[in-house]
Amino acid sequence: MIKRILLTGASGFVGRALVPALLVRGYHLRLPLRDATAFPDLPAGSETVSITDLETADWPAMLGGVDAVIHLAAIAHIGPSVPADAYDRINHQASVALGRAASHSGHVQRFIFMSSIRAQTGASSHVPLHVGLPPRPTDAYGQSKLAAEQDLAHLPNLAVTSLRPVVIYGEGAKGNVATLLKLARTGLPLPIGGLKAKRSYLSLDRLVETVIAALESEAPMLGPQIVADPEAMTLAEFLNHLLEHEAERTGAPNLKPRIWTVPEWLLRMLIKPVRADIWDKLAGGQVVHLI
């Protein structure tokens, strides 16, 4: 029976939502953090542990009495500002070091690794995605996540679930989702009505539910699992959904984004020669088939 969980990355976007959800269900949490004061009101039985970084953490000492590991901590930013070897050291090697310590502990029953859809594919895909397809990551971030998945899967005495979420939205979201939401709130006309490619997205609430399901399922959910909401959306549909979701969460008035329809060929001509990566994320499809 799982009672105590080691949860890394507790102060991040997903961790901030997952911690209270696990506490409500009666789990005792051990949270390795750079700032051990980040969760001052943990109930009895849960604790924070101060660490400097993932590479030098004393995992065997932290795994005493732990029944399961949820590993969220990673370099999440994708871009040229992060050296390729940093992704490998943190997202791959440090994750495997934690997994190896869990494997040798003799009492860790489950290991849930937060991977990424980028372990499966690039920023877009011309074919519907499912875990039966050969993974083809296109950058150092995705390659580091896939390498960690593969090495963790070969560790003995450890049931490993690797979750591959698509783009996540919800309270505290950063990056492209935060930028889209900020633009939508301005009321400025957004020329995206002509972009018809659909993409799968994932609510933070659904991801939290999936982590708990992986933790509590009768049989372990072994191997990679792509996680997404059931319905794919165009970019304009997603903006509407983001604003509706925010209104439901905060009670604020439900704003409507001002969507203009500009031919896709014209946007491509203006954007792709300058920022091909941005164009791929705006106009490229990435639809998940959940199986």
Residues 20, 280: Cα–Cα separation, whole Å? 36
Measure Cα distances from 146 to 9, 74, 83, 141, 283 in Å.
Answer: 19, 13, 17, 9, 25
Q: Where do the domains of the chain lie, and which CATH numbers do they carry?
A: 4-168+203-227 (3.40.50.720), 175-198+233-283 (no CATH)
- Predicted confidence band of residue 40 (pLDDT cuts 50, 70, 90): confident
More confident of the two residues 174 and 48: 48
The pLDDT tens digits of the residues spanning 108-147 come to 999 999 999 999 999 899 899 999 999 999 999 999 999 9
Q: Pick from 54, 134, 42: which is nearest to 101 by CA?
A: 54
- Does the pLDDT value for residue 186 go beyond 70? yes
Instruction: Check pLDDT > 90 for residue 279.
Output: no
Mean pLDDT of the 11-15 span:
95
pLDDT over 80 at 79, yes or no? no
Q: What is the dihedral of CA 165, 166, 171, 176, to 10 degrees?
A: 140
Residue 94 clears pLDDT 90, i.e. is over it: yes
Query: What is the residue-averaged pLDDT of the chain?
Result: 92
Q: What share of the chain is helix, strand, coil (3-state, %, to 5)?
A: 40, 15, 45
Q: What is the pLDDT of residue 18?
A: 98
Residue of 283, 249, 252 whose CA lies nearest to 266: 283
What's the average model confidence in pLDDT over 58-69? Answer: 97
Q: What is the pLDDT of residue 107?
A: 93
What average pLDDT does range 174-200 have in this prediction? 88
Higher pLDDT, 142 or 40: 142
CA angle, 211 as apex, 74 and 281 as ends, to 5°?
55
Query: Does position 76 have pLDDT exceeding 90, yes or no?
Result: no
Output the pLDDT for position 291.
63
Predicted local distance difference test score (pLDDT) of residue 283: 83
Taking each helix axis as running N to C, give the angle between helix 175-186 and helix 235-250, from 0 to 180 degrees, rounded to the nearest 10: 80
At 274 the pLDDT is 80
Q: Can you read off the two tokens belonging to residue 167?
A: 């783009």
Question: Residues 282-286: what's their mean pLDDT?
Answer: 86
Distances (CA, A) of 140 to 37, 145, 154, 216: 33, 9, 21, 32
pLDDT value, residue 257 = 83
pLDDT of residue 289: 84
* Cβ atoms of residues 148 and 163 within 8 Å: no
Question: What are the tens digits of pLDDT across the range 194-215?
Answer: 999 999 999 999 999 999 999 9
Angle of helix 264-271 relative to helix 276-283, nearest 10 degrees, comes to 150
pLDDT band at 181 (very low <50, low <70, confident <90, very high): confident
Compare 253 and 210 and report the one with higher pLDDT.
Answer: 210
What is the C-alpha separation between 29 and 66, in angstroms, rounded? 9
